A and B are shown apart, each in its own frame.
Chain A
Amino acid sequence: MRIHEVTIQAGRPERYYWRDLWQSRELLYILSVRDISVRYKQTALGASWSLIRPLATMLVMAFVFSVVAKLRPDPGVPYSLMVLAGITIWTFFSNAFTQISSSITSNANLVTKVYFPRLLMPLSAVAVSLVDFLIALFLFVVIAIVYKFVPDWHILLMPLFVALALLAAFAFGLFFAVINVRFRDVAQLIPFLVQVGFYACPIAYSSAQVSGTWYEKYYIMNPMVGIIDGFRWSLLGGRTHLNPQSLVYSVAISLVCLLLSVIFFRKRESTFVDDI
């Protein structure tokens, strides 16, 4: 029989951490399923909430911005579809980001009682938002049919932008997850960030409106601009505005932040149990 040997020592990162993480993938699955099945327990409408929320937001946005404020969508694209595409990817990002940043504290009972690579917690936190996203994407398809809108080959690139959104959510969420263990202020900060982000990103409006202004070069530094525009661009057949430079920022910032966040997370991980 294989003898499993472990050495526990102060200040030394677990040598087999990444192997442990891989071997715990079953636990990852089970934790994800737990979060998903708990999500809509004891609600009358259940999973339809994942449809109702983006739909209602879209209707309000479409009315306020296109009827009241008279914002123009990109040519050849129905305003509602443009908004809905933006809302879909933004909701995905912000949910994943929020869940990840509270993933350690919301599993405090596990942190103090059982060992497993702590990265499993932020990883499993993504599951719920991923399911919600798929439902919302289905909603998008239905609305697109209503508008008789047919996407073209661009849609093949869509998973890429979803992955990028996930990467960004992870990069930023992980950082806040660590801070949250020590400072619960994060729980207050996150909804605020999400709210500001909603307006700072091209969701209810097209980034074409920013194009050519003096502040565009700062605007596109927001990594979410490229991701949202890219997602919309792939869904709506390349007819919406997409500044390729903004995508460079998205990829570069997300990757660098992810790397830093993972290092930070690994460094603080062993103290979670003392701080939580």
Chain B
Amino acid sequence: MSVITVENISKHYIIDHKRGKGTNSLRDAITGTVKGWFGSSEATDDVTHEEFWALRDVNFTVEQGDRVGIVGHNGAGKSTLLKILSKIVEPTSGSVRIKGRVASLLEVGTGFHPELTGRENIYLNGSLLGMRRDEIRKAFDEIVSFAGVERFLDTPVKRYSSGMYVRLGFAISAHLNPEIMIVDEVLAVGDADFQKKSLGKMRDSSASGRTILFVSHNLTAVQALCNKTLYFEKGQLLEQGETNQVVASYLSKVSRTRLRREWDTPEEAPGNDLVRVHRMELIPDYPAGTTHIDVRTPMRVKFEFWSMMDRANLNLSLHLYSLTGECIFNVGSESTAYGKGLIQGECTIPGYFLNDGTYTISVMIVKDTVTPLYNMEEGITFDVEDFREGVAWYGKWPGYVRPQFPFRVQALEPIIDVR
């Protein structure tokens, strides 16, 4: 039985670009037309409109008990789709039919009020997510122990650590009992332990026939949880089907190597008033006889940026992500005082360190070791090819890293055959 039927759903936005200052002020409306408030907004002279299709002609059905992963780049329309299914956003055209009670988890701890205690927030959040009070009361103890906040039940959540906050938020939603559950990127928060626990909880609930729609950048999580996957690109549903197939084709489409990015002047460079990126480059030191990066290749990441500040303590923080969005490592440079000007940083990644795969590098410029000034996200993308010798096995080498640690094996004593 199909529980969700999506037919020709489109969502269209009009982005107003206004000349001069003053966006969306009453003055504009008065000088424009009053009609605009009641119907769709009318154009005033100094406004140019840009059309934007967040979703275009999307069709799919979801069967009962399916666990559907939704993947795609930022801005592909995944979140818009979830918001339409959750009745938060109205589609421009098309229709959706949903059979069953829906709970949407677009954020952990929706509506949590910082001043209220954990106990009060459980009731608040639970009823916002559609639980009745007696349902919450019944699940209350379980929620509290799942979140591990027994001692802080009567403490305002503003005094909670961010971990406790997230755990409590998730614990509530995990005890919802809807037929269909819509989940957006909640795993992006919380530590590894928590992610494992919540993924497990979702898998359990789907075993009992619940339908799950799950958006995530973490492809590993999608593969672990979902049996079907939808792949969105620029508002369109490019591909749907078995998770492994769709994820594989998603990976093959997104994998592209970009080793160098450069901007000539601060005006056109990405950044802000404080810092601008000049250049980001990955320089492989190819061992003799090789022409592409493989697991042996040592690399240097060169990063240059302009600082517009007269004097500031700055350091760089380099993150390396796998294609599935997991952070493999984070290296920080030492914080040093710099004046206005061009600053260069270089980080070396040794050979025999990364396993084969596709990686992206982000570099963050940090002030006083705490304030991120700018994060150059996904600046560099590169593939590491496989290389092995003296091994007759050609399966995928497991793991994120591929170090060659000293591994000594020796014969200690022979077994003497006493026949």
A residues at B contact (CB < 8 Å): 3-11, 14, 26-27, 30-31, 34, 37-38, 41-42, 109-116, 179, 182-186, 264, 267-268, 270-271, 273-274
Contact = CB atoms under 8 A, between A and B. Distances in A.
Nearest to A42: B115
A187 to B, nearest CB: 11
B38 A267 contact: yes
A114 B104 contact: yes
A36 to B, nearest CB: 11
B174 interface: no
Contacts of B123: 30
B241 interface: no
Taking residues whose C-beta sits less than 8 angstroms from the other chain, chain B's interface range is 35 or more
Interface in B342-401: none
Given A37-B115, A113-B110, 16 more contacts: A5-B99, A5-B100, A6-B87, A6-B98, A8-B97, A26-B133, A27-B127, A30-B127, A38-B116, A110-B111, A112-B88, A114-B86, A182-B29, A184-B24, A264-B38, A270-B90
Given A38-B113, A38-B115, A185-B25, A7 B96 contact: yes
Contacts of B99: 3-5
10 contacts: A4-B101, A7-B96, A8-B95, A10-B95, A30-B124, A38-B113, A114-B88, A114-B106, A183-B24, A183-B26
A244 to B, nearest CB: 35
A232 B355 CA distance: 81
Contacts of A115: 86-88, 104
Contacts of B120: 34, 37
B128 A114 contact: yes
B104 to A, nearest CB: 7
Nearest to B41: A182
B263 interface: no
Contacts of A5: 97-100
Interface string B55-88: 0000000000000000000000000000111111
B127 A113 contact: no
Contact of B25 (A31, A183, A267): A183
Contacts, number: 111
A86 B128 CA distance: 38
Given A3-B100, A113-B110, A26 B13 contact: no
Nearest to B132: A26
Nearest to A264: B38
Contacts of A30: 123-124, 127
B128 A27 contact: yes
Given A38-B113, A112-B88, A115-B86, A8 B128 contact: no
Given A110-B110, A115-B104, A183-B29, A273 B97 contact: no
A8 B107 contact: no
B129 interface: yes
Contacts of B33: none
B89 interface: yes
A264 B106 CA distance: 28
Contact of B83 (A3, A41, A185, A273): A273
B21 to A, nearest CB: 14
A117 to B, nearest CB: 10
B37 interface: yes
B88 A113 contact: yes
A154 to B, nearest CB: 40
A58 to B, nearest CB: 30
A41 B129 CA distance: 25
B94 interface: yes
Nearest to B10: A10
Nearest to A31: B124
B220 interface: no
B91 interface: yes
A7 B95 contact: yes
Nearest to A24: B127
Q: By CB atoms of chain B within 10 A, which of A3, A112, A113 has the most?
A: A113
A110 B111 CA distance: 6
A34 to B, nearest CB: 6
A26 B127 CA distance: 8
A67 B89 CA distance: 58
Contact of B97 (A6, A114, A264): A6
Nearest to B111: A110
A270 B84 CA distance: 11
B29 A34 contact: no
Contacts of A26: 127, 132-133
B161 to A, nearest CB: 20
A29 B341 CA distance: 58
A111 B111 CA distance: 10
B113 A34 contact: yes
> What are the 7 tightest A-B residue pairs by CB atom distance, in nearest-first order?
A185-B26, A115-B87, A8-B96, A270-B90, A41-B115, A9-B95, A183-B26
Contacts of A185: 25-27
B257 interface: no
B92 interface: yes
A113 B90 contact: no
Given A37-B120, A114-B129, A9 B37 contact: no
Given A26-B132, A34-B116, A8 B85 contact: yes
A182 B37 contact: yes
B2 interface: no
A122 B98 CA distance: 28
Contacts of B116: 34, 37-38
Contacts of B94: 9-10
Contact of A10 (B91, B111, B115): B91
Interface string B247-291: 000000000000000000000000000000000000000000000
Interface in B1-36: 13, 24-27, 29
A10 B179 CA distance: 24
A179 B37 contact: yes
A145 to B, nearest CB: 36
A38 B158 CA distance: 13
Contacts of B156: 41
A72 B89 CA distance: 57
